[in-house]
Amino acid sequence: MTIAGFIVRNALRNKRRFLLSVSSVAMSLFLLVTLQVALRELTNPINDEGSTLRIIVRNKVSLAQPLPARQLPTIERIPGVAAITPFSYYGGLYKGDEKFTSFAQFAVDPARALDLLSDARVPPEQMQAWIADRTSAIVGKMTADRYGLKVGDRMPFTGQIYPCDLEFKIAGIYQGTADDRNVMFHQKYLDEALGDPGTVGTWWVKASSVEEAPLVTERINKAFANTSAEVRAETERAFQLGFVSMWANIKILIGGISMVVVFALLLVTVSTMSMAIRERFRELAVLKALGFRRRELFAFILAESFGLATLGAFFGAGGAWLLYRTLDMPKLTGGMFVVFEVTPQMLALAFTIAAVLGLLSAVAPMIGVARTSVVQGLKTLD
Amino acid sequence: MSLPNIVTIRELSKEYRQGEINVVALNNISLDIAQGEFLTLMGPSGSGKSTLLHIIAGIDRPTKGVCRVQDIDVTKLNESRLADWRNQNVGFVFQTFNLIPVLTAFENVELPLLLTRLSGKRRREQVNTALELVGLAERSRHLPRQLSGGQEQRVAIARALVTDPKLIVADEPTGNLDSGSAQEVLSILQLLSRQIGKTVIMVTHDPKAAAFGSRSIHLEKGELTN
């Protein structure tokens, strides 16, 4: 027999309680990790390689205000601008979706758009077909898979923002971006449907280098200062974070729930360990009598409590990691969650919480053991 | 020629507070116990016999006085050194056996040896020797709940013996046993004293049990009466 074997035997002496305790830690940490993953998914914009170069130009008054289409040549001439396309959010309701369509539709200039979507992979013949037909669109692979769409199918939308319904013929299916959900179609097609208003939703600009990006942003803002349509140019990251800031209350709510989960977990573990040690006060007194020192008994208690919490973290956080790797979350959540990834930081957080729980829950039993003499301990039994 | 003393107690007193009352458990006790002696401590409940045994075994401390065991004043040792000293010099036998329920008889006996630097092989040899001595070698893989009371107490005696201590203390070791099992346990303790030279100090209420000892002393209200 080894000391480690002795500790394991003690931990497993009440198997039902041990299983329930490990399960409660595991379930709580599973929930905690899931909340963290969901929070990250909701508040952390998806970034790809090209996002560091892309700049969004919108109306300074509001994102809802369009920009004049005539701004295009002015922006094109600004030093450091490598590519530009109109980028108008259509926001239609796809046929069959009742209240909400989980993928976005953007009107762009196809010939220019792929310069900005450097990560997207579209077969050349599909790209040509898209450019050639102004009623066509390319669809992200995730959306195509979800709805079982293929090249040549038609996608009808009901306008929710613009007063026009549109129907696209699928010219191609793209993949390779961080978010392969969107539908891209011709700005010209939207213009025609709206009676050619001469406006775009936003401009999507690509800077020639990462170093140039902030300078380009500044130059665009200056170029339209004191005009009838002043703009606000910002990096794609800053633009996305603007949306994220609207989730502030959700972050607080999820943070609050996480705290409650951890606190409940602490109570459960402390209670379990206290119960387990209280039952063994006599045995601990016997061990003391046999020559085990206080620090060795502390080590037994700590190892047991730490082991219980860590095992719970292994099953809870590890289970979440395995589960979300295995499940097709975009499909399961109807495209609401795309990445849903348990990051190493989240695993580290879960294991750190477990370690701290293990330590804290050992404190009370250790104090009890320290305060109890051998004689008192033996009397508790008799 | 008489054997040298293994335990020397001088003017030993123990007092403790029970609420508002000051209780005198031992009052100015002086006592010598010779090596190899089988001493029985008798007396009514509350007479201080268990307290005296606990102080000799180093699990309780006196209020004043000296308690030397093998020339070491155990009252002066700190907690950590006292724990080491107990592991090397004292074997305990309790009334309620106090075996660890999740460990087999073998593992219960091996427990005190986990604190030593002995190799696994040497530990196994010592455990087997101790179990053979109490006649339970064939029951070594049994858990305490699979043993009778008498067998459990014999495992406890093997555990007390396994580190080869000079002193074995037994606090009413037959209190929870039937007469047959009690007889067996007392015979083993007697054998340890007479043939192996261990010093055995046993607390008992039972005059029949005390008859197995080589000397018997009585305590009453914390004082020796004979």
Nearest residue of A to residue B99, measured between CA atoms: A283
Whether A288 has its CB under 8 Å from any CB of chain B: the answer is: yes
What pLDDT is attached to residue B211? 93
What pLDDT is attached to residue B62? 94
Whether B143 has its CB under 8 Å from any CB of chain A: the answer is: no
Nearest residue of A to residue B60, measured between CA atoms: A375
Mean pLDDT of all residues in B8-18: 91
What pLDDT is attached to residue A373? 87
Cα torsion A308, A313, A314, A318 to 10°: value is 160
Q: How many CB atoms lie within 10 A of CB A199?
A: 18
Mean pLDDT of all residues in B84-92: 93
Whether A372 has its CB under 8 Å from any CB of chain B: the answer is: no
Residue contact A291–B115, C-beta within 8 A:
yes
What pLDDT is attached to residue B121? 93
- For chains A and B, count residue pairs whose Cβ atoms are closer than 8 Å: 70
What pLDDT is attached to residue A334? 61
Whether B225 has its CB under 8 Å from any CB of chain A: the answer is: no
Mean pLDDT of all residues in B173-190: 90
Residue contact B102–A287, C-beta within 8 A:
no
Task: Give A-chain residues touching B83 at CB under 8 angstroms.
Answer: 288, 291-294
Nearest residue of B to residue A3, measured between CA atoms: B114
Residue contact B103–A6, C-beta within 8 A:
yes
Task: Please tell me whether residue B182 adopts helix, strand or coil conformation.
Answer: helix
Task: Please tell me whether residue B78 adopts helix, strand or coil conformation.
Answer: coil
Q: Summarize pLDDT for A264-318 with one digit per residue, the tens.
A: 888 888 888 888 888 888 889 999 999 999 999 999 999 999 999 999 999 999 9
What pLDDT is attached to residue A382? 40
Residue contact A289–B57, C-beta within 8 A:
yes
Task: Give B-chain residues touching A382 at CB under 8 angstroms.
Answer: 95-96
Whether A121 has its CB under 8 Å from any CB of chain B: the answer is: no
Query: Rounded to a whole number, what is the distance in Å from the CA of A290 to chain B's nearest CA?
Result: 5
Q: pTM of the entire structure?
A: 0.71
| B188: nearest Cα among B134, B127, B132, B109 | B134
Nearest residue of A to residue B165, measured between CA atoms: A290
For an interface test with B, which of A286, A295, A300, A376 has the most B Cβ atoms less than 10 Å from its Cβ?
A: A286
Does B1 have pLDDT greater than 60?
no
Whether B77 has its CB under 8 Å from any CB of chain A: the answer is: no
Residue contact A283–B98, C-beta within 8 A:
yes
Which residues neighbour A126 within 8 Å (Cβ) at sequence distance 6 or greater?
A138, A151, A171, A172, A173
Whether B23 has its CB under 8 Å from any CB of chain A: the answer is: no
Q: How far is CA A380 from CA A211, A377, B108, in A?
A: 74, 5, 21
Q: How far is CA A82 from CA A40, A206, A217, in A?
A: 32, 5, 13
For an interface test with A, which of B114, B119, B172 has the most A Cβ atoms less than 10 Å from its Cβ?
A: B114
Residue contact A290–B110, C-beta within 8 A:
no
Whether A369 has its CB under 8 Å from any CB of chain B: the answer is: no
ipTM: 0.91
Task: Give B-chain residues touching A10 at CB under 8 angstroms.
Answer: 102
Query: Rounded to a whole number, what is the distance in Å from the CA of B143 to chain A's nearest CA?
Result: 12
What pLDDT is attached to residue A269? 81
Which residues neighbour B87 within 8 Å (Cβ) at sequence distance 6 or greater?
A290, A291, A292, B112, B115, B116, B163
Q: Which of residues 159-218 of B touch A (CB under 8 A)?
A: 159
Does B212 have pLDDT greater than 90?
yes
Q: How far is CA A35 from CA A29, A253, A366, in A?
A: 10, 10, 33
Query: Rounded to a whole number, what is the distance in Å from the CA of A363 to chain B's nearest CA?
Result: 20
Residue contact B96–A13, C-beta within 8 A:
no
Give per-10-residue mean pLDDT for chain A (382 aa). 88 89 91 89 67 88 91 94 93 81 90 81 91 94 90 93 92 86 93 92 91 92 93 84 71 85 84 82 90 92 92 95 87 71 94 91 88 84 45
**Cα A3 to the chain's mean position, in Å?**
43
Q: Summarize pLDDT for A358-382 with one digit per residue, the tens.
A: 998 889 889 988 888 888 888 775 4
Does B2 have pLDDT greater than 90?
no
What pLDDT is attached to residue A219? 95
Whether A289 has its CB under 8 Å from any CB of chain B: the answer is: yes
Which residues neighbour A12 within 8 Å (Cβ) at sequence distance 6 or greater?
A18, B102
Query: Rounded to a whole number, what is the distance in Å from the CA of B122 to chain A's nearest CA?
Result: 13
| A346: nearest Cα among A307, A316, A312, A309 | A316
What pLDDT is attached to residue A63? 85
